[in-house]
Structure 1
Amino acid sequence: MIMMDWLAKAMGLPDHNVSSMVAYGSKLAHSGVEKACLMGAVQYHPVGYDDNYSMRGHLLEKEIEADIEKGLTPFFVVATLGTIHCCSFDNLKELGEVCEKWGLWLHVDAAYAGSAFICPETRHLLAGIELVQSFNFNPHKWLQVQFDCSALWIKDRQKLDTVLHLDPIYLQHSKQDEIVDFRHWQIPLGRRFRSLKLWFVLRSFGVTGLQKWIRGTMDLAEYFADLITKSEHFELFRPRSMGLVCFRAKGSNDQNRALLKSLNEGREIHLIPAEIDDTYFLRLAICSTQTTQKDLDDVLNLMLRHLQKL
């Protein structure tokens, strides 16, 4: 990289100018948010969170005001409903009000937890959804749909269509005024037909069946969280959220890293870690239709055996 900089200087190439446009998301937002900003050549400023790991309106507005003072241009905010670290939920209503005040586009990333909104009792987490410009979740993560399937809604689709609309003669067709042409909604010209796989799931399970499935996984997660709470050797990092349980062995971060390495190398179970505020913890998500309470009992016993070997 240094050599490339030297060579650019020797050739008189211009310095790279970073865009003054700024996008925002929680410090717990998925890395894909920051990656999208890198691809779009805009700045990304992560925002802090409260004691419940939720990005709040006043925290966002503080960042916006500071950036405007610097001469920057805030334009885009990603609210996460179900963060990848611990399935926490940003305060959608507060963020929406801030975005409306400052004229920013508010997008919702509900990749995992969005499936749970099929159950009415979870929809309080959608408070403020009317202030959102776009909303996305992945039915393949928790709604029984095979990979890959992503559902995206745009409040005003013409804004997206206008930005990406190119109509050279070789792509024109006789039905273009009668159909929604998705080549204007995305980067590639073509797209896979994912509607059919979603249709089969909805027809096979029905809304009631999918609600039963979601509630069942959350009940199993609560059962596992209770096992952790009662254990002498483990503790919850935070209360169970949706179908995710965040926990750790009582001890140091290094001990938990060693435990995870031992478990995953044993290949009887696979866990993914996370780290928030210098606390390293493990995550267990209920994903299989075959999971039972006995399986979760076995998981706890398995972890105890590996922990004793450390």
Structure 2
Amino acid sequence: MTFNNVSMKVSEFIIGGFDAVKTPMAVGVVILIVYVVALLANIINILLILYDKKLHKPMYLLICNLAVVDILYTSSASPTMIGVLVAGVKTISYVPCLIQMFAINLGAVLEMFALAVMAFDRLLAVSCPFHYHSYLTNTRTLVLTYMLWIAACGFAAYCLATVIPLPHCYSVLMYAFCDYAAVIRSTCVDPNYYFNLIATISFFFLFFTFTFICLSYVGIIFFVKLSSNNEKLKMGSTCLNHLIVVTCYYCPIFVIGMLTRLGVVLTLEARNGLLIGTILGPSVVNPFVYCLRTKEIKCKIIKMFQKS
């Protein structure tokens, strides 16, 4: 079904998602500050883990992977939003827009995969404490991480492949950045087929990863009940870090999903706000959770400040 017979060659898109914002500079500065803090915090986390051989363990390699994913995810959209709101640059070229869409989809899927693997890591640590390091070695952790990156790249590439052949009839994107929905709505075709297609795949990823995380915690709770009080406190502390991170990522997604299913029509501003929160929220919370609540990383930071 074609909505508009007059297709056009699009060399650049206009980001119109912030047109209704009354104080764009203030919003842009907030996003800029959050982005810079998230970037620096995640980079510090990565450097601390890479340069300290004592932290070259599966759990810390997974934390390092999560930090890389957070940098990718937040950097996929933040520079564009900051450019629109602070610098007033509302245009983005066609190819960079598609690259941005690819990076956003890649980051979103990798975030789910990273959280699911970290839940599995905690389950192994709690259920098999004496065989943990023989079951989950550094090599196996890296191989598993590479496999998940390849799978996520496949999904992001598929999203890209469904968009490239489509003719475009509009050059204005009524969204905050170049996500899949924004680019599809700029084409001349009925978007519902493509939305349903990607929604089905995305639902599979969400359902699989969230169910896997929940089942992992059911197992963790079972084994924690069998442990001593001291072990319960230690296990609870390490698992709480992961639970905070999971909540920050999945909550905005589930809010959007539930409101949509309930028939609530979100305004453009509300939808953009939730999407921005989904990208920026976890990226800034995750490194601080693991810096402040993980004993080894926190001690490393304290020692660095004491030396300086």
TM range (shorter): under 0.3
Specify which structure has the higher proportion of strand: 1
Task: Tell which structure's C-alpha radius of gyration is larger.
Answer: 1
Higher relative contact order (CA 8 A, sep 6+): 2
Specify which structure has the higher proportion of helix: 2
Q: TM-score of the superposition, structure 2-length normalised?
A: 0.23
Q: TM-score of the superposition, structure 1-length normalised?
A: 0.23
